[in-house]
């Protein structure tokens, strides 16, 4: 799965934990992790988290990590 920002595409990894929650992570964006009770919720949440992560980097004048997707 992937998450698109502007013209960059970031890989997203989703795993289900022992409690049935879906944990979503964007490996190219260190610390960008989210979760959801359903797969759809986890996907929506990680997209929102990634957009916020990238917006914060831009706001603070930090480099946007390259995508490996």
Residue 23 pLDDT > 90: yes
Q: Is residue 29 part of a domain?
A: yes
Provide CB contacts within 8 A for 45, sequence distance 6+: 24, 34, 35, 36
pLDDT, one tens digit per residue, over 33-66 is 999 999 999 999 999 999 999 999 999 999 999 8
Mean pLDDT, residues 8-20 taken together:
93
- Residue 6 is predicted with a pLDDT of 60
Q: Is residue 62 part of a domain?
A: no
Provide CB contacts within 8 A for 17, sequence distance 6+: 23
Print the domain residue range for 31.
Answer: 2-57
pTM of the predicted model, to two decimals? 0.84
- Which of 16, 15, 48 lies closest to 32 in space, CA to CA? 48
| CATH number for the domain that contains residue 22 | 3.30.160.250
- Residue 29 is predicted with a pLDDT of 96
């Amino acid at each position: 799965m992937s998450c698109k920002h502007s013209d960059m595409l970031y890989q997203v990894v989703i795993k289900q934990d022992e409690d049935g929650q879906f944990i979503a992570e964007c490996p190219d964006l260190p610390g960008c992790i989210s979760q959801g009770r359903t797969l759809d919720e986890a996907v929506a949440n990680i997209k929102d988290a990634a957009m916020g992560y990238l917006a914060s980097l831009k706001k603070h004048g930090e480099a946007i990590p390259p995508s490996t997707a």
